[in-house]
Structure 1
Amino acid sequence: MPIGRLHHLIVDCPEPAVEGRFWSAVLGQPITFDDGDFVVVSADTTSSGLAFQRSAQHRAPTWPDPAVPQQMHLDVMVDDLAVATDAVLALGALPLRGDHVFADPAGHPFCLIPRPGWAAPVHPGVEPAGAPPPE
């Protein structure tokens, strides 16, 4: 029997509103709470999600340089890596070393990964680039 259930993953950052808008756009989920110092992105007000809290002393990760470790990173599954890459770059992500590895506006690394076969499409009805035509 579990002890509990995940409420939110809390991420320190200098500007919670900036992080909230970025991840809201990447994940297609709304900002469900914002008090200026704490912003939540989740499917709705009763679902777990990502939360961003103001940290005046935040030091952005310098990964892969170990001077400041990556602290955390998210893997974001996508239907089409090329389309998703263009989209996150347009939102302000910065490319890092490695294929499909980026930093969000506060410097937190994240990876775009091809959607695994067991997962439902992120965008049902949209075939990823290079996918064979349906039979």
Structure 2
Amino acid sequence: MPIATYALVALDCPDPPALAGFYRAVLGGEVKKYDDWYDLYVPGGTRIAFQRVPDHRPPEWPRGDRNSQQAHLDLDVTDIDRAQEEVLALGATPLDLDDQGGERRFRVYADPAGHPFCLCLP
């Protein structure tokens, strides 16, 4: 019997409504505001939260000498090239796009607050 059930992932950021909007544009769903905390309810039942941290320092990827990766999200896509164009248009920053000639099935980006996330082919 498990001790707990999964509830959400919370991301620190300087601008919760903006980051919630970025992920809503990527994943769909509905954003709800609670003071300085925003929840994104993604279709299928998953929830991602965004909390205001005024002195937020984005993680460094892939190095961790200044600040560790902290966390990252893996997002499955069916067309990685089209998905890449769309997340870049929304404000993502490319971190590692080398798919090694198609051998590696993911690419790494940073969201507008600097959190790493991967677009992955299932």
Q: Could you tell me the TM-score, scaled by structure 1's length?
A: 0.77
Stretches of structure 2 lacking an aligned partner (at least 5 in a row) = 99-106
Give the 3-state SS of the residue equivalent to 1:96 in structure 2.
strand
- Report if aligned partners of 2:37, 2:49 keep a CA contact under 8 Å in 1: yes
Q: Tell me the secondary structure at the aligned position of residue 96 of structure 2.
A: coil
Q: TM-score, normalised by structure 2?
A: 0.85
User: How many aligned residue pairs are there?
Assistant: 112
Is residue 40–residue 49 contact of structure 1 (8 Å, CA) maintained in 2?
A: yes
Q: Indicate the structure with greater helix content.
A: 2
Q: Structure 1: how far apart are the matches of 2:4 and 2:78?
A: 32
CA distance in 2, matches of 1:9, 1:25: 18
Q: Within the alignment, does 1:105 sit opposite 2:104 as a pair?
A: no
Report the alpha carbon displacement of residue 84 of structure 1 after superposing the two structures with TM.
0.3
**Does the alignment pair 1:8 with 2:15?**
no
Partner of 1:58: 56
- Superposition RMSD on alpha carbons, in Å? 1.4
Listed one character per residue, the Cα deviations across residues 56-90 of structure 1 (whole Å, up to 9, x for unaligned) are 12111121232211110001000100010001001
Bigger-Rg structure (1/2): 1
What residue ranges of structure 1 are gaps of 5+ in the alignment? 117-135
Partner secondary structure for residue 25 of structure 1 = helix
Runs of 4+ in structure 1 over 4 Å off: none
Task: Confirm or deny: 8 A CA contact 1:16 1:36 kept in the other structure.
Answer: no
Q: How does 1:40-55 map to 2 (within 5 A)?
A: 40-43=39-42, 47-55=45-53
Equivalent pair of 1:6/1:48 in contact (CA under 8 Å): no
Q: Which has the higher strand share?
A: 2
